[in-house]
Amino acid sequence: MSNTQHESMSFLEGVERMVDKATLVAGLDPRTACVIKASSAVIQIKFPVRLRSGVEVFTGWWSIHSAHRLPSKGGLRYAPHVNQEETEALSALMSYKCALADIPFGGAKGGLMIEPSKYTVEELRDITHAFAGELARRGFLNPATNVPAPDMGTSAREMAWIADAYKSLFPEDLNQDACVTGKPVNRGGIPGRTEATGKGIQYALQEFFRHPDELEKTELVDGLAGQRLILQGLGNVGYHAAKFLSEEDKVKVIAIIERDGAVVNPEGLNVHDVRQHLAQTGGVRDFPGGEFHEDGAAVMTMACDILLPAALESQVSAGNAMKIQAKLIVEGANGAVTYEADEILQRRGIVMLPDLWVNAGGVTVSYFEWTRNLSHMRFGRLQRRFDELRGICYATALEEMTGKSMESRLRNEIVRGASELDLVRSGLDDTIRSAFAEIRDTMKRNPEIGDYRTAAFVIAITKLAQSYTDLGLADGGE
Ligand code: GLU
């Protein structure tokens, strides 16, 4: 049974309903909400590619939800279920996510209807080149206007192919590297981008657990260590989030749900090993470190502290929201919780950390990569050794003043100049923390807002409304 069978509205309608709800709370003119909700452009492309089996025609979309700030930014998804409406809904979420996280981009999303596992690497490269070429020739791939990134079914490899396609069409573009983000590090990428969304989820949870007044809303009070987490989806986002949380924060990953079923171990699973098993066998069945359950949907509703749906949209729906036993839901995948499920879970008092906030890490580090590409210089190149020299001065001064020598571990920490990865992580952590500070502040100032998602949407649409008002495209009241 599909997850959304009980749902009375589509994914896109659900996102729009959220905007309507936030519009009311924010006291914005409903006409402004119409301006905000409207997608700016969607292009559908059908293109033929010659493959082993003959010529095949592929269908793909690029949806620009907002272009009040450029470039419009979002992931490019390769999956067989991709369609125009899904792409539009996801592009809208990108607008709100960028606004919440203070990323100066519009929102966009791309999708290609394809089952990547059916094709050879060479074929995937040819298909990607062809799709990117079609987008670039029409102005839907460009460092200044439309910049894709990895999403479900794509990775740094596809981003490198996209950059190649763009460069061969526009070799004279000085900023060609910035036409796509999430590239391999040695091809204009930035350290820390691959794991950025997962790292951002870890930072979001760490931040949430720093606030006892927020934690009180859940029944979780004892810090992150030992919390029992169920993960749905061991893709790039879920894998990195669960790996960091289990290895660094000692969270216990008690179940991992994948396409073929779920693997469960109340003592905690080794996330890295499960991923290796998945890569080798295509599933989680027969993983030696846990018990296999055929019915992954039933495992979603098992008792746990934290549920992390990181697979696909609409996985927590009106169909299963009543049965969820988690105390906290962390929305790793875009739109993982439907509008109706959100209402049910709120009534049940289950706290949700929304996608707009918790999975903003990917686009945040994409922003850093794009900026780096435009500056043509890695972050920290100018000041790293200067900082190091200053650190040596501080440490030496302290030692001379106290007459004692410092423990070498401490000295090294003081002396060390930040690497590019240190800077990326610091910027990511700051972005996630700042967004939560804004969410908390908004909730304090508007006590009628009882949940983080509404607060996140209120912040996002208020910023968008301001942008449109500044452009004369919405009424700001004066
Ligand atoms: N696909 C990611 C997301 O949905 C990243 C988008 C980007 O980096 O532009 O947020």
Q: In this prediction, what percent of the chain has a pLDDT beyond 90?
A: 94
pLDDT at 1: 39
pLDDT digits (tens, 9 = 90+) for 94-123: 999 999 999 999 999 999 999 999 999 999
Interacting residues of 130 by C-beta distance below 8 A, sequence separation 6+: 47, 48, 49, 58
Q: Which residue has the higher pLDDT, 127 or 3?
A: 127
- Rg, the chain, Cα only: 23
pLDDT digits (tens, 9 = 90+) for 49-108: 999 999 999 999 999 999 999 999 999 999 999 999 999 999 999 999 999 999 999 999
Q: Shortest CA distance to 164 belongs to which of 186, 140, 192, 132? A: 132
Last residue of a domain, one of 187, 208, 241: 187
pLDDT digits (tens, 9 = 90+) for 124-149: 999 999 999 999 999 999 999 999 99
Confidence of residue 477 (pLDDT cuts 50, 70, 90): very low
pLDDT at 473: 77
pTM given for the model: 0.97
In-domain check, residue 163? yes
Answer yes or no: is the C-beta of 91 below 6 A from any ligand 1 atom. no
pLDDT digits (tens, 9 = 90+) for 181-228: 999 999 999 999 999 999 999 999 999 999 999 999 998 988 999 999
Residue 153 and residue 48 share a domain: yes
In-domain check, residue 150? yes
* Three-class DSSP category at 219: coil
Residue 276 and residue 149 share a domain: no
User: Distances in Å between the alpha carbon of 119 and those of 36, 199, 232?
Assistant: 39, 31, 26
Residue 175 and residue 75 share a domain: yes
Q: Determine the average pLDDT of the residues in 240-260.
A: 98
Answer yes or no: is the C-beta of 151 below 6 A from any ligand 1 atom. yes
Residue 201 and residue 344 share a domain: yes
CATH code for position 226:
3.40.50.720
Instruction: Using the mean position of ligand 1's atoms as its centre, give its distance from the Cα of residue 101 in Å.
Output: 12
Question: Is the pLDDT assigned to residue 476 strictly greater than 70?
Answer: no
Query: How far apart are alpha carbons 161 and 5 in whole angstroms?
Result: 38
**Strand-strand pairing, 54-64 and 41-51:** antiparallel
Last residue of a domain, one of 149, 165, 187: 187
In-domain check, residue 301? yes
Residue 246 and residue 99 share a domain: no
Ligand 1, atom 4: closest residue by C-alpha: 75
Query: How far apart are alpha carbons 274 and 119 in whole angstroms?
Result: 25
Which of 82, 147, 366 has most ligand 1 atoms within 8 Å of its beta carbon, as the pocket-test mutant?
A: 366
Residue 152 and residue 80 share a domain: yes
Which two structure tokens, joined as six digits, stand for 68? 């009040």
Ligand 1, atom 8: closest residue by C-alpha: 363
Residue 206 and residue 154 share a domain: no
In-domain check, residue 7? no
Residue 351 and residue 387 share a domain: no
Which two structure tokens, joined as six digits, stand for 310? 């990181």
Q: Is the peptide bond before 116 cis (omega within 30 degrees of 0)?
A: no
Which of 151, 180, 237, 312 has most ligand 1 atoms within 8 Å of its beta carbon, as the pocket-test mutant?
A: 151
CATH code for position 127:
3.40.50.10860
Q: How does 411-433 read in b/e, with b if 16+ C-beta sit within 10 Å? A: beeebeebebebbbbebbbebbe
Ligand 1, atom 1: closest residue by C-alpha: 75
Instruction: Using the mean position of ligand 1's atoms as its centre, give its distance from the Cα of residue 75 in Å.
Output: 4
Answer yes or no: is the C-beta of 363 below 6 A from any ligand 1 atom. yes
In-domain check, residue 374? no
List the catalytic residues.
109
**What is the enclosing helix (H) or strand (E) of 201?**
helix 196-209
Residue 118 lies in domain: 40-187
Residue 242 and residue 332 share a domain: yes
Query: How far apart are alpha carbons 65 and 271 in whole angstroms?
Result: 36
Last residue of a domain, one of 165, 187, 209: 187
pLDDT digits (tens, 9 = 90+) for 315-352: 999 999 999 999 999 999 999 999 999 999 999 999 99
Q: In this prediction, what percent of the chain has a pLDDT beyond 70?
A: 98
- The dihedral sign for the CA sequence 49, 183, 313, 26: negative
Q: How many domains does the chain have?
A: 3
Answer yes or no: is the C-beta of 364 below 6 A from any ligand 1 atom. no
Residue 99 and residue 169 share a domain: yes
Closest atom of ligand 1 relative to the 90 alpha carbon: 4
Instruction: Using the mean position of ligand 1's atoms as its centre, give its distance from the Cα of residue 376 in Å.
Output: 22
Interacting residues of 244 by C-beta distance below 8 A, sequence separation 6+: 195, 198, 199, 202
Q: What is the DSSP letter of 23?
A: H
Beta bridge partners of 443: none
Query: How far apart are alpha carbons 334 and 183 in whole angstroms?
Result: 21
Rounded to the nearest integer, the mean pLDDT of the chain is 96
Residue 356 and residue 307 share a domain: yes
pLDDT at 3: 57
Closest atom of ligand 1 relative to the 97 alpha carbon: 10
In-domain check, residue 12? no
Q: Is the peptide bond before 184 cis (omega within 30 degrees of 0)?
A: no
Residue 206 and residue 281 share a domain: yes
By the 8 A CB rule, do 337 and 232 touch? Answer: no
In-domain check, residue 82? yes
Which of 94, 158, 162, 356 has most ligand 1 atoms within 8 Å of its beta carbon, as the pocket-test mutant?
A: 94
Answer yes or no: is the C-beta of 453 below 6 A from any ligand 1 atom. no
pLDDT digits (tens, 9 = 90+) for 349-363: 999 999 999 999 999
In-domain check, residue 434? no
